[in-house]
Amino acid sequence: MNVIDKCWRGNPLWRSHRQQLAKCSVGFVGKMTNNIGKDVVKYKVIDPSDDPLNLKQGTLRYGTTMIKGNRQSMDHLQKQHANHVAEATSRSVDVHITGSGCLMVYHATDIIIHGLRIHHCKSQPPSTVMGPDSKVIHLGQMDGDAIRLVTARKVWIDHNTLYECQDGLLDVTRGSTDVTVSNNWFRNQDKVMLLGHDDGHLRDRNMKVIVIFNHFGPNCNQRIPRVRHGYAHEANDFYQGWEQYAIGGSMSPSIKSEANFFVAPNADNKEVTWRKGG
């Protein structure tokens, strides 16, 4: 086991003390201690139905409206629009998030996404959803990413399986920072991970992301990740081949690659890195 898993799974009673996971994060996210304690509100999703505007108790969307101003742990997730402190975990249940929209963390902080399977996410036109305090939130076009961070901070994405989405598997965008991506399995995807919104979004110069202990492949093509503007640390990741390139950058990012294991494809293109401009 790596240092993260030893921290929480080293305890033989870890299933009864799952909140201790929050003390085991590494990297820029720091320790997620705001996600543990007696005042954390637990919410269990028991209803698989989904209506973005007419919320029903027991559904996942109803739980997301409770987050603002509180600390919350949400079990058995299917879809989410998250604000402020939350932990989205599967609690030993095989939980799948799929379909339109999938998972977006919007203007949020102190978020843990753990133990989920997110796949076959599809694009979605502009829409409205009900947010905290019964406020209607207008969302733009959703490209079909598995996980999308928008102006989010202190987000830990750990032990998830992501694959076969219309656009990408993880986007960290629009000023999001202090993100740790660890112990995930990314597979069967063209564009895997984008760190930095676009060439003109200069706020992403402050972005800091660590990508550690992940498995990429089989059948990952490119952007593993692609970094714009900010800083990314790639460490102890396993790359099971690629088609175009593994790690790429543009708009003068800083990328540190450390102790990664690259298995080059059998095809002629064995180039690990790709660079555009400065």
Measured over the CA atoms of residue 3, residue 27, residue 191 and residue 96, the dihedral's sign is positive
For residue 223, indicate whether it is catalytic. Answer: yes
Tell me what percent of the residues of the chain surpass a pLDDT of 70.
89
**One of 223, 226, 228, 275 is an active-site residue; which one?**
223
Confidence of residue 136 (pLDDT cuts 50, 70, 90): confident
CA 215 to chain centre: 14
Is residue 104 a contact partner of residue 97, using CB atoms and an 8 Å limit? no
Domains of the chain: 28-276 (2.160.20.10)
Residue entry with tokens 């919007």: 106
pTM: 0.90
Tens of pLDDT along 171-204? 999 999 999 999 999 999 999 999 998 888 899 9
pLDDT of 129: 81
Tens of pLDDT along 223-258? 999 999 999 999 999 999 999 999 999 999 999 999
| Dist. CA 116–CA 158, nearest whole Å | 9
